[in-house]
């Protein structure tokens, strides 16, 4: 049976269709989920896509965190449902306290859009099994509020537990502490990152690379062997 991966659309989501396409290319069935609907329609995993949900008013992701769909996502993520938050989705995951820390405005106070080199630090999460630890990849990045911050205790804990999943290489684009580009929860089923893997799944579009496709093949293999 084909794995079903839900993609939530919030008001202001920009990359939901791109994410659905990436899921389809990986061999899974994308399922559109609406932010006002608490029903996840029996999906096997969920992606919170990039964009500017609710216009990023108040704080990026702060309003989306209270959408009806997030009540179910939070409950099921704590029970083991794989959840991936990309850019604005990562911001929502921190606001929902599914991931620690928070996101602030870029330290240079400008929107940034570039092809970003990352190092894979953790290849054992539900979303990174098709990578290898230490691998360097290029993933498009575009954000205004991409600076990951946390107190020293939390940062040390993330490092000690191997929960930093991706780290910026060569250039820190937003001032994120310890060059952190993505993290996971203790169970490894919830992952958030600022760069956009859905824009690196086909050689003819986006970055011209396919370095982002393993996110979606990883979760497919995880679900098949679960």
- Which residues are known catalytic residues? 87, 196, 198
What percent helix, strand, coil does the chain show, rounded to 5? 30, 25, 45
Residues 154 and 220: their CA atoms lie apart, in Å, by: 30
For 67, counting Cβ atoms within 10 Å of its Cβ (0-12 exposed, 13-18 middle, 19+ buried), the class is: buried
**Nearest of 157, 180, 176, 185 to residue 167 by alpha carbon:** 180
Q: Which residues pair with 9 in a beta bridge?
A: 34
Residues 183 and 194: their CA atoms lie apart, in Å, by: 10
Residues 50 and 112: their CA atoms lie apart, in Å, by: 14
Do 150 and 163 touch, CB atoms closer than 8 A? no
For strands 45-48 and 164-168, give the pairing. Answer: unpaired
Do 186 and 165 touch, CB atoms closer than 8 A? no
Do 198 and 14 touch, CB atoms closer than 8 A? no
Residues 210 and 176: their CA atoms lie apart, in Å, by: 25
């Amino acid at each position: 049976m084909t794995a079903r991966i839900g993609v939530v659309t919030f008001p202001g989501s920009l990359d939901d269709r791109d994410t659905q396409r990436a899921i389809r290319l990986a061999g899974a069935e994308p399922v559109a989920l609406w932010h006002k609907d608490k029903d996840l329609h029996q999906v096997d995993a969920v992606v919170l896509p990039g964009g500017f949900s609710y216009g990023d008013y108040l704080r990026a992701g702060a309003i989306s965190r209270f959408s009806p769909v997030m009540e179910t996502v939070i409950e099921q993520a704590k029970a083991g449902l794989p959840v991936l938050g990309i850019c604005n989705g990562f911001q929502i995951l921190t606001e929902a306290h599914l991931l620690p820390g928070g996101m602030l405005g870029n330290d240079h106070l400008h929107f940034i859009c570039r092809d970003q080199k990352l190092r894979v630090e953790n290849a054992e999460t539900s979303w990174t099994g098709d990578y290898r630890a230490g691998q360097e990849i290029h993933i498009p990045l575009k954000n205004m509020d991409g600076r990951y911050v946390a107190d020293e205790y939390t940062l040390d804990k993330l490092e000690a537990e191997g929960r930093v999943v991706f780290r910026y290489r060569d250039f820190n684009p937003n001032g994120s502490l310890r060059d952190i580009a993505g993290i996971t929860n203790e169970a490894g089923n919830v992952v958030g990152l600022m760069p956009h893997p859905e824009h690196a799944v086909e050689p003819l579009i986006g970055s011209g690379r396919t370095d982002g496709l393993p996110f979606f093949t990883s979760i497919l293999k995880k679900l098949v062997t679960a």
